[in-house]
Amino acid sequence: MENAGNKQFANQKRQPKNVIELEKGRIPPQAVDFEEAVLGALLIDNSAINQVIDILSPESFYKEEHQLIFKTVKELFGDSQPVDILTVANLMRKNGDLSSVGGEYYLIELSQKVSSSAHSEFHARIIVQKHIQREMIRVASTIITSAFDESTDVFDLLDQAEQDLFEVAHGNIVKNYSSAHDLIKEAISKIEEISKQEGLSGIPSGFSKVDRVTSGWQPSDLVILAARPGMGKTAFVLSMARNIAVDHKRAVAVFSLEMSSVQLITRLISSETGLTSEKLRKGNLDDHEWQQLLTKVKNLERAPLFIDDTPAISVFDLRAKCRRLVAQHDVKMIIIDYLQLMTAGGKAGGNREQEISTISRSLKSIAKELNVPVIALSQLSRAVETRGGDKRPMLSDLRESGAIEQDADIVSFIYRPEYYDITEWADGSPSEGQAEFIIAKHRNGGLDNVRLRFQGAMAKFSDLEENEGLESMVLESKMNTGSFLDEDDDPYDEQPF
């Protein structure tokens, strides 16, 4: 008997090691009582919807029944219908969801959980916090599983992990689909907003004619700006970055792979102050020029402009930095100077053309993921120089890869006839101090050639007045003939024949 008792005692001692007690198990973070309180408030007070509709989504709720109820409430709200027990029950019955949540009895029970909607927003934020915790657990579990898989590429895994956490941080949980109903409402809302902004639906470039063609740089678009060296690619995007950051107060990020950040900002200072780059480089300024420098540079100091001069940056590093800039500084445009100096970061094998293809696809995916326009500068092949005529660039001149043209939403060129000692445009007007912004591909709009003023000493582009070219022609004509007519003079009064 004693041996049997000892044996039983030994079994009892071993049992806790093999049996996990229920209360020690892990349950996903949840706040069901707060979910019930919020849904109850929505059913008794329509004003509660305005407090939580921008905070919660159906996926925010832990219980599937609560997800279905909130989805129904949101659908009624979207159709401008009243929300109460009867309307929710009726729509859920039509959708075949009423029995899944426990029928009308459960809706009545929810409405009795609260007496007012006073704290609905606070309760909703607690629900969101629990949802974020659950999503972080999901992401972490996926990372752990993939990390143990020896066949997983570690850089792909790191990139995916950062993307998933970025989406969780912004509450942008990836959706599998969007209904036509929601998309049409969103599109109409956007059209109404555009009508109030004089047709600009994107980020304005600061060049009026360019904006008329593009309606501003559109979110998620990849814009390629290509030209031969010396045409002014960097000057153009710096002028545009200045217009966006200083005049429109939109945050801009510039990734310069060719020039240092100090060189870039010096060029911006030259453009902003009207002092030539040569004067700034030598520091040979008069007293009034020092005053001009210190006064006019203040607008640039306050501008939300961020410059990164990491050389040979990889696509992986670029994506990580762009995510942080968008998250921390609400950056609205990303500029890369220039594409051919980037690396694929070990993702692309084979030749340089395949690597450039990988880079261009990655830039398009960054634009789409962050929902901001990405402008990437690109070199053109030497075929432009060997070609006869006016040497205007064409799509076939894009260097190293046809994938650039394929991936880009807009392909544009900078062309300055003056660079090739061509003194006139095709229409006979003088080309001195002018450039042409050529839109050769526009996936969502028309094509056009826009003439701009170019001030080489300050590396600055600006709008060319409508009558500026005509005035130059008239002035040149007068200088050649040696006569300047008054407004009242008629050149046909005296006939030479």
What is the per-residue pLDDT for 496? Answer: 36
Q: What DSSP state is assigned to residue 218?
A: P
Whether the predicted pLDDT of 302 surpasses 70: yes
Q: What DSSP state is assigned to residue 55?
A: T
What is the per-residue pLDDT for 1? Answer: 47
Distances (CA, A) of 151 to 155, 192, 346: 12, 50, 16
Task: List active site positions.
Answer: 258
Whether the predicted pLDDT of 237 surpasses 80: yes
Question: Which pLDDT tens digit goes with each residue over 423-468?
Answer: 888 888 888 888 888 888 888 878 888 888 888 777 788 887 754 4
Q: With beta carbons less than 8 A apart as the criterion, state whether 83 and 73 touch.
A: yes
Phi-psi category of 102—alpha, beta or left, where left has phi over 0 and alpha has psi -120 to 50?
A: left
Question: Which pLDDT tens digit goes with each residue over 168-210?
Answer: 766 544 444 556 777 677 777 766 766 666 667 788 888 888 8
Do domains 32-171 and 202-463 share one topology? The answer is no
List the 252-256 sheet strands across, edge first.
305-308, 252-256, 333-337, 374-379, 222-227, 410-415, 434-442, 448-455, 460-463
Instruction: Give backbone dihedrals phi and psi of 171, rounded to 5 degrees, phi first.
Output: 70, 15
Question: Which pLDDT tens digit goes with each residue over 78-90?
Answer: 776 888 889 888 9
Q: What is the CATH number of domain 32-171?
A: 1.10.860.10
For residue 132, give the nearest of 167, 178, 176 by alpha carbon. 167
Q: What is the mean pLDDT of the chain?
A: 77
What is the per-residue pLDDT for 24? Answer: 55
Question: Which pLDDT tens digit goes with each residue over 388-404?
Answer: 777 888 887 776 666 77
Q: Cis (ω within 30 of 0) for the bond into 62?
A: no
Question: Which pLDDT tens digit goes with each residue over 115-162?
Answer: 887 888 888 889 988 988 888 888 888 888 888 888 888 877 887 887
C-alpha span between 253 and 163 (Å, rounded): 19
When pLDDT is averaged across residues 229-244 and rounded to a whole number, the result is: 86
- pTM score > 0.85 for this model? no
In CATH terms, the superfamily for domain 202-463 is P-loop containing nucleotide triphosphate hydrolases (3.40.50.300)
Residue ranges per structural domain of the chain: 32-171, 202-463
Whether the predicted pLDDT of 99 surpasses 70: yes
Question: Which pLDDT tens digit goes with each residue over 47-96?
Answer: 788 778 778 888 889 989 999 999 888 888 877 688 888 988 899 898 88
C-alpha span between 318 and 331 (Å, rounded): 14
- Give the pLDDT band (50/70/90) at residue 230: confident
Structure tokens at 251: 């945050």
